[in-house]
Amino acid sequence: MRKVSLLMLAASGALLLAACQPTTPASDHSSAKTSASSQSKQKEDASQTSSSQDVSDLSPKDALAVINTQLTQDLAGELYLLKTPPKNGYWQVSSTASGDQTILQYTPSDTSQDLQKTATAQWQYQLTWRDYTSSDTAAAAVNAEPVQSGLSTVKLGQGVTATQTGGPTAHYLHWADNKWVLTVQDSSTHDDAQPLAEKVVSQLAKTALPLPSDKGAVTLVTPATDDSGQQVIWNDGDRLYTFTGQDALSTLRWAASLSKTQGTAATSSDDSQ
């Protein structure tokens, strides 16, 4: 009987304690959930912020690596990107889409810049690409004119011989190098085609252009006329790349600096161009 009384006393005490506990209104539960959700959102935002690294305090090479990594993540797949910064400076890079083409514009800058989402008016080099239905159609779009036989020739050094055509106010030198076909055009009366072509041959003996899957074409013009006067175009499978600039040798040199990357940026120990 004593045990029963103790059990009843304990049960009544438990009920009393439960009755004395403060209750939590439904609105408080909602606030608690909102607070937890807010904290979760803040953590997510912080994570996203930390993953998109600020490049303002980075060296030119490290800033370019961060931008290249972001580009490959945003645009997906394998891309050709500049792997070195301009001498004593940074690249400001913009990424835009125009029709079925993707456009990257590189502008030298004194300070590091994040990846821009709008085109810039003062770009110095531009890389565009377009995807075709097959490698054959992309290669055909290169429009690489074959070197003709039976024309007069001129020696450019390094064992390279070019065909020569044109009249008094337009001279063309044309030669092949592996999968590349190169054309140097002099639109003046100064006979500058051969000196420029000799410099091109000398430069390509030191720095190689990206290797096309099928075909590539280089067209260089002297004197320079506009931002897109110099052009390097090649296909990588069913994707067609076009790299353009204003100065012939600089455009060729930076085209040789393009490195194929996927997810991470390639950098070089040589910062000078």
User: What does the DSSP assignment read for 115-140?
Assistant: PBSS--TT-SEEEEEEE-SSHHHHHH
Three-state DSSP state, 203: helix
Round to the nearest angstrom and report the end-to-end CA distance of the chain.
Answer: 100
Residue 88, φ and ψ in degrees, nearest 5 = 55, 35
- For the chain, the domains span 60-261
Residue 272, φ and ψ in degrees, nearest 5 = -90, 135
- 142/260 Cα distance (integer angstroms): 19
pLDDT at 138: 97
Q: What angle do CA 227, 232, 235 make, to 5 degrees?
A: 135
The token duo for 211 is 């290797």
- 24/221 Cα distance (integer angstroms): 79
Sign of the alpha-carbon torsion through 15, 21, 27, 30: negative
Residue 139, φ and ψ in degrees, nearest 5 = -65, -40
DSSP-assigned beta bridge partners for residue 183:
174, 219
DSSP-assigned beta bridge partners for residue 80:
260
> Residue-wise pLDDT tens for the chain (273 aa)?
444 343 333 444 443 333 334 444 444 444 444 454 555 444 444 333 334 567 888 999 999 999 999 999 888 778 999 999 999 899 999 999 888 899 999 999 998 888 887 777 778 999 999 999 999 999 999 999 888 888 999 999 999 999 998 876 678 999 999 999 999 998 877 778 999 999 999 999 999 999 999 999 999 998 877 666 899 999 999 999 999 999 999 999 999 999 998 754 444 444 444
- 95/72 Cα distance (integer angstroms): 11
Q: Which of 104, 118, 119, 121 is nearest to 64 (CA)?
A: 104
- 148/125 Cα distance (integer angstroms): 31
Residue 145, φ and ψ in degrees, nearest 5 = -75, 125
Distances (CA, A) of 239 to 53, 135, 253: 30, 7, 22
Contact (Cβ atoms closer than 8 angstroms) between residue 260 and residue 79: yes
The token duo for 69 is 């990594």
Q: What angle do CA 220, 88, 256 make, to 5 degrees?
A: 30
For the entire predicted model, the pTM comes to: 0.76
pLDDT at 49: 34
Question: In 10 A of CB 42, how many CB atoms?
Answer: 10
